C-alpha cells in the first residue's frame, strides 16, 4: 500500500469509525452508561474491513463516488462489529434486537395503553413488543405520555387538528427512537 492510498483510506476509515462510535456512545451516555465500544476498536475494525476487500476498494479511491462507496462499506462493517460488541457486553444475542418503525409503534400503542396493569397479551412476540412499547412509553416525558394517551388510548380523540396530529407524530417518533435505543 502506497502512502497516497494509506492517507485516503485512513481518512475514510476515521470518518466511518467516528460516525459509528458516536452513534453508540451517545446512546449509552444519554442512558448514563459507558459506551459499549472503544474508538480505537472502531478504527481498528475499519482497517480490518478495508483490508478484507482492499483490491476492490483501492480501485475506487480515485473518484468521489468511489470514496463514498468505500466509506459507507467500511462504516457498515464497523457498525456490525459495534452491534456485536454491544450485544456481548449487554448479555444478549444480536439476533434478539428488535427495531420499530413509526407505523409499528402506532399499531402497538392502542394495545399497550388499553392494558390494565399486569395484564398479559397472548403470543410471545406480541407480548414482548407490547412490553417494549410500555417501557418506552413510561420513559417519555409527561407531556408526550398525555398526548399519546389522548390520541391512542382507550377513549382516543376521534377528530384531530393538524397541530395535534403533527405533535402526536413527533411523540411517536420520540417513542420509536427510545425503543430503537437511539436516545
Do the Cβ atoms of 93 and 87 come closer than 8 Å? yes
Is the domain of 117 the same as that of 74?
no
Per residue in 65-124, pLDDT (tens digit) is 999 999 999 999 999 999 888 888 777 777 766 777 888 888 888 888 876 555 555 556
Is the domain of 118 the same as that of 75?
no
Domain final residue, candidates 42, 62, 96:
96
Is the domain of 112 the same as that of 74?
no
Is it the case that residue 13 has pLDDT exceeding 90?
Answer: yes
Secondary structure class of 177 (helix, strand, coil): helix
Q: Sign of the CA dihedral 60, 63, 69, 71?
A: positive
Tell me the CA end-to-end span of the chain in Å, nearest whole number: 40
Instruction: Tell me the pLDDT of the chain averaged across its residues.
Output: 83
* CA 57 distance to own-chain centroid: 27
| Domain enclosing residue 62, as ranges | 3-96
Do the Cβ atoms of 62 and 56 come closer than 8 Å? no
Is the domain of 43 the same as that of 76?
yes
Per residue in 128-178, pLDDT (tens digit) is 788 888 888 888 888 888 888 888 877 766 666 777 778 888 888 888 877
Tally of domains in the chain: 2
Nearest to 12 by CA among 107, 53, 117, 180: 53
Question: What is the rounded distance in angstroms from the CA atom of residue 63 to the CA atom of residue 41?
Answer: 28
Amino acid at each position: 500500500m502506497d502512502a497516497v492510498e494509506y492517507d485516503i483510506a485512513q481518512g475514510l476509515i476515521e470518518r466511518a469509525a467516528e460516525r459509528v462510535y458516536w452513534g453508540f456512545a451517545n446512546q449509552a451516555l444519554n442512558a448514563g452508561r459507558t459506551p459499549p465500544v472503544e474508538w480505537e476498536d472502531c478504527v481498528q475494525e475499519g482497517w480490518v474491513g478495508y483490508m478484507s476487500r482492499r483490491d476492490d476498494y483501492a480501485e475506487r479511491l480515485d473518484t468521489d463516488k468511489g470514496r463514498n462507496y468505500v466509506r459507507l462499506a467500511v462504516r457498515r462493517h464497523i457498525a456490525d462489529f459495534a452491534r456485536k460488541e454491544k450485544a456481548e457486553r449487554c448479555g444478549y444475542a444480536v439476533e434478539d434486537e428488535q427495531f420499530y418503525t413509526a407505523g409499528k409503534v402506532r399499531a402497538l400503542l392502542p394495545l399497550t395503553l388499553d392494558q390494565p396493569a399486569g395484564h398479559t397479551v397472548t403470543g410471545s412476540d406480541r407480548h414482548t413488543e407490547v412490553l417494549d412499547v410500555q417501557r418506552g412509553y413510561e420513559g417519555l416525558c409527561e407531556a408526550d405520555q398525555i398526548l399519546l394517551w389522548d390520541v391512542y388510548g382507550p377513549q382516543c380523540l376521534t377528530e384531530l387538528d393538524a397541530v395535534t396530529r403533527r405533535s402526536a407524530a413527533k411523540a411517536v417518533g420520540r417513542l420509536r427512537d427510545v425503543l430503537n435505543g437511539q436516545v
